Structure 1
């Protein structure tokens, strides 16, 4: 039976955590274990996890740490993940996984064991009581190589990836604070492949206390901050070229060098005029171009 390690960051998640753990550890046809990092919870989250560890001996491991925020917490999990598993996935603390979620992702990745590969799917948005919401997210196809370093198009809890991608990510310790569900898809695109699935295998709770950033980001608001305040947008070209250049497909290197050196006038003009350097929305795209013009990439 194939094995998968599920990486979960928790923070004050006592209300829904047990159901999520049960849904993960009862996946069909896949042996799933969970590595949990608690990000300094103040409620009974860690007590609940320890009780679950008694119920599922050897299948859960708990790491406790200070409150660092979801970005560093999830990336810490990636760096601490054992390479003994066949596949890896991310989990939020408050969703419910359908019993075939991991199996379906692995099925899409089976023929790509030696290529860094990432799978993502859709989710079914529900309320706190698991009632389906009337408004659902639309599937976002994988952006092209120019778009992807400026887009967040994947919900992290739908991601499943193989051992080759784990080893690639861990080959370089990223110093910047980056979201796991942005940097891993970028690396998969530039060094391997991404597989998208329009189907949903997860009940994705939307409620006031949810921790991780969801797909409906207000890009315009954020990019306005980037363009007209001290806040800056991460320039992922810097990370890729600093730590992963030897693994990146040669055809992508020239573009990454342009983005890395975007302050150079000729590069700035090229990026502003390139229709593939964009966000999903027109307003977001305009704000991105302003961020490039006003040197707000770091």
Structure 2
């Protein structure tokens, strides 16, 4: 079902831009925000202690954005990307003006209709579920190189993932919500904050919170997802040939990273269970997941497809390697 066009009377959207030494690619991203078809937004920026020209560039755009550009003071720089986004989430929620918030990376380029498309879909699902329901809207991305040349027209296809098929249960094992293509409502912000120490990434934690409400995936690119070798979280070809090459180069390292991810996902799921209980929400599916993580390997293997949506090699290897640390 297609959402109706976003009305200009729709709630204000906060764009949450976390920056750190992003001068090289920042201007095209800011230009793409100014080029949005829906201009009823504010740009909240939190800088994590840049030593390049990032802040100079931001100040240079004050005239173009006017009062919509809000540069947050940051007395404790160097906290990292997760805490930088958490500051932005807190600021948007505490300010109380915007009902929806969209995360923004400093090195991408948004397509002109991104905010309008996500806002229209958010408006649709809130009209069905209510604004007091935690709601999240995300979409696909076009993967590009540093010169904005297309690597893949679809991030989901490039990663061999199926975000539309993800469930609250499967999101406990693998995140399929990309933060730079994510919009959330105030209720989700309130429920997600503060981010627990166990949160692997802010977008993953928001995706988990949406398991108690509504999550909608738009299967079309909303932005150009720039890959340049210094991405905090990037895209990589997950085709069988590329994966076998990586295993051949660094099999032990890959296995170690998978095991560490297993520890992280288990701790994150436990933190989610605590949060849901504190909010008085149903945590039965999280309890079921944690029980599965502790099962003997044969029983885990019998049910692993229910707990991981993604390439078969991914979910089988995780089931086997995570078992060793359960």
Shorter chain as denominator, the TM-score bin is: 0.7 to 0.9
Shift of residue 263, structure 1, vs aligned partner: 6.7
Which of 78, 82, 93 in structure 2 is aligned with 1:71? 82
Gaps of 5+ in 1: none
**Equivalences for 1:41-80 in 2 at 5 Å?**
41-63=50-72, 64=74, 65-80=76-91
Counterpart of 2:169 in structure 1 is 146
Shift of residue 262, structure 1, vs aligned partner: 5.7
Contact 2:19 2:106 in 1 (8 A): yes
Counterpart of 2:271 in structure 1 is 239
- Please give the alpha-carbon distance, in whole angstroms, between the structure 2 residues aligned to 1:188 and 1:248: 15
Gaps of 5+ in 2: 1-8
Does residue 28 (structure 1) correspond to residue 37 (structure 2)? The answer is yes
Which of 28, 45, 65 in structure 2 is aligned with 1:19? 28
What is the alpha-carbon root mean square deviation over aligned residues?
2.9
Contact 1:88 1:162 in 2 (8 A): yes
Shift of residue 164, structure 1, vs aligned partner: 1.8
- CA spacing shift, 1:91–1:155, aligned 2, 3 Å: same
Contact 2:138 2:181 in 1 (8 A): yes
**Equivalences for 1:218-257 in 2 at 5 Å?**
224-226=255-257, 232-235=263-266, 236-245=268-277, 247=279, 250=282, 253-257=283-287
Counterpart of 2:302 in structure 1 is 273
- CA spacing shift, 1:39–1:214, aligned 2, 3 Å: farther
Contact 2:293 2:300 in 1 (8 A): no
The Cα offsets for residues 161-207 of structure 1, whole Å up to 9 and x where unpaired, read as 1122112212x552324212211111112x10111111112122221
Shift of residue 22, structure 1, vs aligned partner: 2.4
The Cα offsets for residues 187-234 of structure 1, whole Å up to 9 and x where unpaired, read as 112x10111111112122221233334476879877621566798323
- Please give the alpha-carbon distance, in whole angstroms, between the structure 1 residues aligned to 2:25 and 2:112: 17
- Please give the alpha-carbon distance, in whole angstroms, between the structure 2 residues aligned to 1:214 and 1:110: 30
Name the count of aligned residue pairs: 291
- Please give the alpha-carbon distance, in whole angstroms, between the structure 1 residues aligned to 2:25 and 2:102: 19
What is the DSSP-based 3-state SS (H/G/I as helix, E as strand, rest coil) of the residue aligned with 1:203?
strand
Shift of residue 44, structure 1, vs aligned partner: 1.0
**Structure 1 residues 282-291 or 128-137, which shifts more?**
128-137
Contact 1:71 1:180 in 2 (8 A): yes
Contact 2:18 2:81 in 1 (8 A): yes
Counterpart of 2:4 in structure 1 is none
Which of 201, 210, 229 in structure 2 is aligned with 1:179? 201
- Please give the alpha-carbon distance, in whole angstroms, between the structure 1 residues aligned to 2:112 and 2:97: 23
- CA spacing shift, 1:145–1:173, aligned 2, 3 Å: closer
Counterpart of 1:163 in structure 2 is 186
Shift of residue 118, structure 1, vs aligned partner: 0.6
Counterpart of 1:128 in structure 2 is 146
The Cα offsets for residues 227-283 of structure 1, whole Å up to 9 and x where unpaired, read as 667983232321112112255763xx33312434567556x7654431312351222
Q: TM-score, normalised by structure 2?
A: 0.78
- Please give the alpha-carbon distance, in whole angstroms, between the structure 1 residues aligned to 2:150 and 2:26: 19
Counterpart of 2:230 in structure 1 is 209
What is the DSSP-based 3-state SS (H/G/I as helix, E as strand, rest coil) of the residue aligned with 1:255?
helix
Q: TM-score, normalised by structure 1?
A: 0.85
**Structure 1 residues 236-245 or 88-97, which shifts more?**
236-245
